[in-house]
Structure 1
Amino acid sequence: MMESREPQTFTRKEFEKMNQMVKDGDKEAKKFIVIDNKLYDVTDFVEDHPGGQDVLLTHVGKDASDVFHAMHPDSAYEMLGNYYAGDLEPELAKDDNVANSAKFAAEIRDLRDKLKKEGYFHSSKLFYAYKVLSTLALCATGLGLLYAYGRTSTLAVVVSAFIIGIFWQQCGWLAHDFGHHQCFDDRKWNDVLVIFLGNFCQGFSLSWWKNKHNTHHASTNVHGQDPDIDTAPILLWDEYASAAYYGALDDEPTMVSRFIAENVLPYQTRYYFFVLAFARFSWALQSFMYSFNQGAINKSAALNMYERISLVLHWSIFGYATIAWNSSIYNMILFFMISQATTGYTLALVFALNHNGMPVISEEKAEKMEFFEIQVVTGRDVTLSPLGDWFMGGLNYQIEHHVFPNMPRHNLPKVKPMVKALCKKYDIYYHDTGFIKGSLEVLQTLDVASKLSLQLSKKAF
């Protein structure tokens, strides 16, 4: 009989040494992550990670337990076992502040287990059927109005464009819900709805969105890792981004980069709202290019084909309606611009409220913080009426969504008091505000970065 071998136990020093080799750029160094104090060698898995390689790379050399449990189905545990490399020795006792954060994380884990048993992670199919059908009704109303009156009434063109813009925004919130697998237990059906609502209806690629959004959830507001705050050279949100952008100009700046640094970024508060009008078209263009250049996030040829066909159909149908159901070039341009700008504003204003103006964390500091604490302190909840909840697609419960990303949106208001109470118990900062006050906080953050940019531009040149 063969004797079973005891799993290898790595010391913390051994683990740090292996990670340092990765940080030093050693191409032969193996990449490890820690989940539940077990070590997993993901060196050969990075490129095949179904959620995108960027999100996995942000947690190489770190404890990824909480982010793994928050964002993966039970079926992922079986796959994870294929990369098991050994155990990691227990961590030493932490100081009081860190220990407090660890206790908070432990209670959040217990709360998640409790909520799962009580059915909070089970969706109401009736709710999502209503949301999908009512959202598609917006599309039918907008296109029907354009078809019936677009050739004779400019007012009808304007109203139709606005309705279509809101339709795209609401498709975005629904695609977000299905993308987080909030509705169906079988993840395949969630992806089908994302392709329909996201790719076909809205014009945003599932793979582009998941690659970007998964990384955002894994490293929320972490400088150098979260793609949602990496908006240079259009907007700078914090001192880290400002220092990095202007520091890079030391190496022979071009005429364009110098012009942006001196004459654009120091005045970003003034053009902020103008930029938002182009947000939707910019994202749609990035999405289209990603799908045709990068392919599907899970390397599936079938998924890639479905995505590309849906994106082409989206622009074909929208383009046909724009040209065929308008009587003049002027109205065609008007319909295009208003529909794009409506979605741009209504998406971007919500996105900005989610995290902009909240603390941005350095990579070094993030490594010392608990995952759940990062999710709470970097998020902003917005208290609104039921109409406001509809407008923001439930993302006004941003903190709860980041703590429980696969919880159906209709249950987030129910768990908000529970999360808030735990934050108060462990002195974890929980920010809850109104729409206007939150928007002013975003503008104030931009203004601070603008003044810093003006100072840095004077030093740089």
Structure 2
Amino acid sequence: MTFEEKPESLVDEKQQYLGARHQANGKPGASGKARLSAKQEANAKCGLPRKSLNRYTWQEIQRHSQETDQWLVINRKVYDITGWADRHPGGRQVLNHYAGEDATDVFRAMHPDPDIVQLYLKPLLIGELAPEEPNQERNKNSRLVEDFQELRKTLETMNMFNANLGFFFLHLAQVLILEALAWVIVWHFGSGWLITMFISLLLTVAQVQGSFLQHDMGHLSIFKKSKWNRLMQTFMMGHIQGLSAKWWNNRHFQHHVKTNIYPKDPDIDVGPLFLIGDLKPVKYGKKKIKYINYEKQHLYFMVAAPLLVPVYFNVKSMQEMYHRRDWKDITWISSFYIRYFITFGPFYGIFGTMVLIYLINFLESPWITYVTQMSHIPMKMSKEENQDWFSTQVLATCNVEQSFFNDWFTGHLNFQIEHHLFPTMPRHNYHKVAPLVKSLCAKHGLPYVNKPLLKAFGDIVRALKKSTALWMDAYYRHPET
């Protein structure tokens, strides 16, 4: 479907939604990825009569935050997720990170389908918050939480979470056309080194845009049936990029639910190669830890960026598939290499084709690295503070100015604030909701950071230098502790 609403119309409505606050009781969402047996089991349990619900205080709930004993709260209902964690389609770590906490906003943010989840929630329900208990933990800003939930309701009413199929099929067509064009060029002009470099650039663009597209598929319910959405993501990740979709999902969902929270966000757990943020450099410095010369880590980052995809991603992806014995992902990734050997093997041979693949990965890697890290490394990193969802995401992310080029070059990840607040929102709507998010930030005194693209890239280096200075101060001036 297409959208006729203009950004200005959303701005006109912001005062109306900001002035009306009430506790959100929206339907919980679901990933739609659980197995049929689990669905049948849930249906059976839902048919049984249920005793009156127990009532709990926040103090009681917060005691159940261990890996072997996990409760969480969604819309004032208390759920025991201990036995379900291993079956969670998004990985058990995502649930572990919210054990003993209110998960209402993150739950709604991460699950695009609000109907299927009821089948899995009801068997896990053990009680509800006592009437005298607040909706969230007492340390959270309840007025901000209510305003954010009201904003989400407004956006749902305006169909901002509905995907335009044509938009995503155009991006898929871009990827397929670039791949086909690269083959036609090498078939027609031969495999000289100039031609090889040119088709490498074409295939790099296809790889990067394919990466952005599989990122969309990992978050959205673009198709009415979730199995088609999962199939498209697996196709894009496995067949187009040669990486495991399950490995990426498990890692990426942790990043989303606890962004820039150490050690829960795997994207900032990059030691001992790099020290980022304010906490880890001081910790390493005081303990006199010096695995590498951290004084030059900003230079190491520029050298390491091209190796992220061809080395780190490929190794981690293969480790995950081997550990899980995931034959489906292995099959899809095998099809990636088979496709390259069939299309380019006749021109380059087996060894030359492998060199071509890793050349493309080498070119793709800095593009992906800088786009994904420009909005996080320069922002706040902390240990768990159990803040509300809105504050956590706004403080840990920033935007890059909008333009046609920036939108295309970043796969609309120049709107990281909106993407992190609403992961299941299709990216073609980010610019429409940005004015309302900015307005809510202004109302509650939160920074809404929006910067030029080149400054965002430069801020990565500046943030690394700042972390270096903290490490040096602790390493050279403080006695060993």
Please classify the TM superposition score into its range, dividing by the shorter chain length: 0.7 to 0.9
Residue in 2 that maps onto 1:115: 155
In 2, distance between residues paired with 1:227 and 1:245? 18
Counterpart residue number, 2:61:
15
Q: How does 1:204-215 map to 2 (within 5 A)?
A: 204-215=243-254
Match of 2:260 in 1: 221
Calculate percent identity across the aligned residue pairs.
25
CA contact (8 A) 1:262 1:454 kept: no
Distance 2:410 2:92 in 1: 29
Q: What is the number of residues matched between the two proteins?
A: 428
Partner of 2:234: 195
1:350 to 350, 366, 371: 371
Does residue 104 (structure 1) correspond to residue 118 (structure 2)? The answer is no
CA contact (8 A) 1:162 1:338 kept: no
Distance 1:319 1:457, change over 3 A: farther
Give the alignment of 1:221-260 within 5 angstroms.
Answer: 221-245=260-284
From 116, 129, 133, the equivalent of 2:169 is 129
For 2:262, the aligned partner's letter is H
Q: 2: CA distance between counterparts of 1:44 and 1:95?
A: 24
Go from structure 1 to structure 2 and tell me whether the alpha carbon gap of 1:291 and 1:337 turns closer, same or farther (over 3 Å shift).
closer
Counterpart for residue 168 of structure 1: 207
Paired position in structure 1 for 2:315: 285
Unpaired runs of 5+ residues, structure 1, are 251-257, 296-303
- Equivalent-residue separation in structure 2 for 1:342 and 1:193 (angstroms): 24
Report the counterpart of residue 82 of structure 1 in structure 2.
Answer: 123
Measure the CA separation in 1 of the matches of 2:341 and 2:282. Answer: 42
Whether 2:337 is the aligned partner of 1:315: answer yes
Residue pair 2:61, 2:72 contacting (<8 A) in 1 also:
no
TM-fit CA distance, 1:105: 2.4
Aligned partner of 2:360 in structure 1 is 339
Deviations 1:266-290 (A, max 9, x none): 3111121110111111212311221
8 Å Cα contact 1:217/1:402 also seen in 2:
yes
Identify the range of structure 1 (69-78 vs 58-67) with the bigger mean alpha-carbon deviation. Answer: 69-78
Number of the residue aligned with 2:301: 272
Q: 2:415 aligns with which of 397, 415, 424?
A: 397
How many angstroms apart in 1 are the aligned matches of 2:49 and 2:317? 53
SS in 1 for 2:246: helix
Cα distance change on mapping 1:411 and 1:93 into 2, 3 Å:
closer
Q: How does 1:41-80 map to 2 (within 5 A)?
A: 41-72=80-111, 73-74=113-114, 75-80=116-121
**Local SS of the residue matching 2:348:** coil
2:327 is aligned with 1:305: yes
Q: Under a length normalisation based on structure 2, what TM-score does the superposition of the two structures give?
A: 0.82
On the 8 A contact 1:288/1:311 being kept in 2, the answer is: no
Map of 2:20 onto structure 1: none
Q: CA deviation at 1:156?
A: 0.5
Paired residues of 1:237 and 1:449 also in contact (CA < 8 A): yes
What's the CA shift for 1:43?
0.9
Give deviations 1:83-141, integer Å, cap 9, x for gaps.
11111234459999x67x43222222122222222211111111111111112111112
Whether 2:186 is the aligned partner of 1:146: answer yes
Structure 2 CA distance for partners of 1:91 and 1:115, relative to 1, 3 Å: same
More displaced 10-residue stretch of structure 1: 74-83 or 172-181? 74-83
Structure 2 equivalent of residue 417 of structure 1? 435
Give 3-state SS (helix, strand or coil) of 1:39's partner.
Answer: strand
Please tell me the residue identity of whatever aligns with 1:266.
E
1:380-406 deviation digits (Å, cap 9, x = unpaired): 110132121011001111111111111
Give deviations 1:352-399, integer Å, cap 9, x for gaps.
112111001211x2x1x1111111111111013212101100111111
Tell me if 1:294 matches 2:324. yes
Give the C-alpha shift of residue 319 in structure 1.
4.9
Whole-Å separation in 1 of the counterparts to 2:354 and 2:54: 66
1:13 deviates by: 2.8
> 1:70–1:262: structure 2 CA closer, same or farther, 3 Å change rule?
closer
Taking the aligned partners of 1:46 and 1:328, their CA distance within structure 2 comes to 43
Matches within 5 A, 1:175-194: 175-194=214-233
TM-score by length of 1: 0.86
Alignment root-mean-square deviation, CA: 2.7
1:419 shift after superposition: 0.9
The 1:4/1:197 distance shift into structure 2, 3 A limit, reads: closer
Give me the whole-angstrom Cα distance separating, in 1, the residues matched to 2:158 and 2:473.
54
Task: Tell which deviates more after alignment, 397-406 or 446-455.
Answer: 446-455
The aligned counterpart of 2:393 is 375
Any conservation in 2 of the 1:401–1:412 contact (CA below 8 Å)? yes
